Chains A and B, each alone.
Chain A
């Protein structure tokens, strides 16, 4: 597949958005969807729909097989050992909540510490914060350096004999820093501490190999991987899924239910209570196939080229300050313009069809540390081109003009 032609696979780019061609630079927020994913949802609902895992009729069996096929695809895609290590959730947020809740219940006691980093998204902080109240645990934050990175030393500095779990992002959705996950896991495991990786930004942009990373948990959102909303994945080593208590209770996750007691179902059902996002799970298989067809190496290379090109152009502009300068960086450029608030930047860029995000990007801890109330962020996906970045740069100039800079 020619990376130049990929844009054509995404119907949204055939649309005029307020009379403009869409320059979509908000993929870190959510990615656009290729036709195969959209069609799969339509086809499933129009020709194949049934609930999964319950009835014995033809459609139910077929739907169950399709649903389980996605599990196998994800397992292969991230190189998990066992298909039952893949749990479907509504997104990375639910995956992290699942771990915080169940691990917290079983293993955290008053005074125990959970180690996060200053780069974390609110969804990798708030679920742990709940345990501050219910279990009186402490939360520690590994600190960023000048470049907006988390080094292995920063993690080492905050590990104590009270640290019970480390939960870190794979790739920062603000500075773009890619964390040294393998080293963090090695260090943590040498002290018997499990590691959860918030892979929300990792999964769409980096090659994933659970055997190589060796982390205990990895959280993914489907909608950032060219897939539907409402679907995510928790990868967890089987020993944890066997060991931890169930998360939500309901149909599908039980073995036997009596007035006097309940026994829970086997994996993966144990963690998938109630009717799941069936159509989305089935369509998510198409996202995985799409990414496999393009090739994650090609995606990485393409986005790196865009990043280098974008950084080069924006750095030449004296009024732009780029947030963070990590050596190992994904396709995210957060920036500020002296004299223009990020929200005004976003509104003015939008007028040219350039979609970026402005705000704290659900990372208030980081923004407070950087002493910035808000930043503007351009983030890349497989469909972006150098033309998109040229348009970004042009629209930024327009922004300065409007503000008489």
Chain B
């Protein structure tokens, strides 16, 4: 049913890539993508998957290369590999299981959406990334255990300040000093108002969340802050952008929106996954070969696996890879998000959480009386995380 998303008069000419290109972030990515110096870009889906699944590779890239691995208890499991990484991930696996999403996280998603809808209907209009940020923060905060803050809006604000400060570092000594000072203030506020109250509450009454696990395992203060920030960066910032991207596609394409609102949940997921394939939030992943990986990487070589290229590799997408076709993955018998959540031992544990919260957010938003996108977002580039940022989108609905 590829025709469902075609606007009248649009060309469907393919192959030869001369046909429709539904990607919204490709241009900005092409102009700005910066693979780590000295790395070899891998664009083939199969080769990328082989590398990411190989036990012979290690995390690499800008931030991984400056992490001190001699204190594993002070760093996020994002930077670890091998047995220790597997154990740290296994300890929190239950939090991301499909059953947990249905029985626990969906409640948080619906509750947050109730608040978002009430707020939007009272105001009449709001910046879309502000609403998606609230959803992303609430859901990830519940998984992490950041549930003892004064208000969720304040938690969201403080997390945003820390994350923005941590990725807004400009080179230069003075800038580094200013950065460190600012960062300390923001981290201090986050520690005092959000993390410490949560730790104290978990010491008295452990729950099923990341902080309870860290308390049980006696993580250092630094270790706990780093882990929380990893979840913030990996889970909150990514989902905020994805929700806005998916909303933009759906507001723009009436037939696709209709299908989203009338199809079942499986169809909704297929649509969202296909949007994420075309406009992946994360663009590349770096891995260094600790030993040669047969046929793909030499000893010590660093690979930059291009998620954007892998996601449009015709060997796995079939023809017309730049066209939005929600039936593609089912037809090709592959997992819908393609490489958008990575692959192998580091594959995003929050993938299903992100898809569920986006599905609920958009299902509720798009059904609101009078809902419309009054201003489209501008596609910006965040060089630190090497991903797009959508700013300036405003949604409006009838006041209720």
Q: Do A and B come from one complex?
A: no
* Interface, chain B (partner A; CB < 8 A): none
